[in-house]
Each structure stands twice: as structure tokens, then as C-alpha cells.
Amino acid sequence: MFNKKLLAAALLVTIAGSAQAADTAAQANVKWLGLVNSTTDGEVLKITGAGGGEVANGTISVESDASFTSTSVVVEARYLEDDAGSSYVANELAQAQWTFNNITYIVDGNIIDPSLITVTDLYSGDVVVDNNTAGKELGTVGVVADTEALNLQPELDASTLGLEAVSSASLQVSLSAQLAI
């Protein structure tokens, strides 16, 4: 009888000890963000992704202060369909003048100043957008503008913004290409 009571008491202590030692559950917010890439053909050129395919989505890795690094995205200028008597071949790479029209970075529903974002062309190693160059042709920011393709990688060091505990962010870069003359 004594052994049964001792065993029951020991079991109760073990169960109570286990309950106190239990850890709180770890939690995470996992998010997916889907943007539909869109392109509009010009009269002579179209913008494609690498190898003439679709323009790929890039990904940004955002820190709690809104700083981010990103994957790169390749864009190419290619000729549209042949017109009778044209001097180009459809879908061949074309020398283009690239212009950045707009950069939009939204953090927790607020638009961040686009002049803080830099975009580098990994093919040339040149910074093609910085200090609010949006809307300017690449040639005006020191990059050879007559190029067939760009390998774009945007980034932002937002440590000076004073933001903390950022929970969501999205980035969109809008650009255009015209046939280089």
C-alpha cells in the first residue's frame, strides 16, 4: 500500500514538473506576395525576361527597419514581329535606351522616398538609379544607355529612417525601352 501511494505521489510530482517545464509555442507569420508583371509592347520593341521569356518576379528580403536586399531580375529589349521591308529580325536583342519611370516601395502601407533606393545593373556593375534618378534616361546617370539587356538589383539601407518592427513591404520598378538611335 505504501509503495502505491509513493508511486502515485512521485507520478504527480513528475506530471506537475513537466507542466511547469513546458515551453511556450513558437510562432511565425509566413507571407506570400503576388504581383503580376506586365509589359506593353512599343512600336518596334518589347521588353522580355532572360532569353526572351517572361519577366521574372524578384524577391526582396526585408529587415525590421525596412532595409532590403533583393534578387536580380533580367530585362531584355527585343524586336517585335518583322514588318515587310524592316531591317530587323523578330525577337532578336535590340540596342535600347532604357528609362526608369517610377520606383514604388511601400512599407506597412506607407510609401518610402524612392530617392533612398539604389538599383544596380549587375551586367555592367553600374548603379543605374540613385538619388531620385527616376524618369531620367540611363545615359544621364553615367551608364552606357545603348544596351540590349539589364540585370537589375535594387537595395535600400533604411537604417536612417528610424522604422522598427516592419511587417510588410513591396517594391515595384517601372521602366521603358526605346530603340537606340
Check whether 90 has a pLDDT greater than 50.
yes
What integer pLDDT is reported at residue 67 of this predicted model? 94
Query: What average pLDDT does the chain have?
Result: 77
Check whether 178 has a pLDDT greater than 90.
no
CA distances from 68 to 8, 155, 167, 180 (A): 57, 6, 13, 33
Of 75-79, 83-87, 119-123, 168-172, minimum mean pLDDT range: 83-87
For the entire predicted model, the pTM comes to 0.73
pLDDT digits (tens, 9 = 90+) for 93-144: 988 888 887 888 999 999 998 888 888 889 988 888 765 454 455 544 333 4
| Phi and psi based region of residue 125 (left: phi greater than 0; alpha: psi -120 to 50; beta: remaining) | left
Element (H, E) at 2: helix 2-21
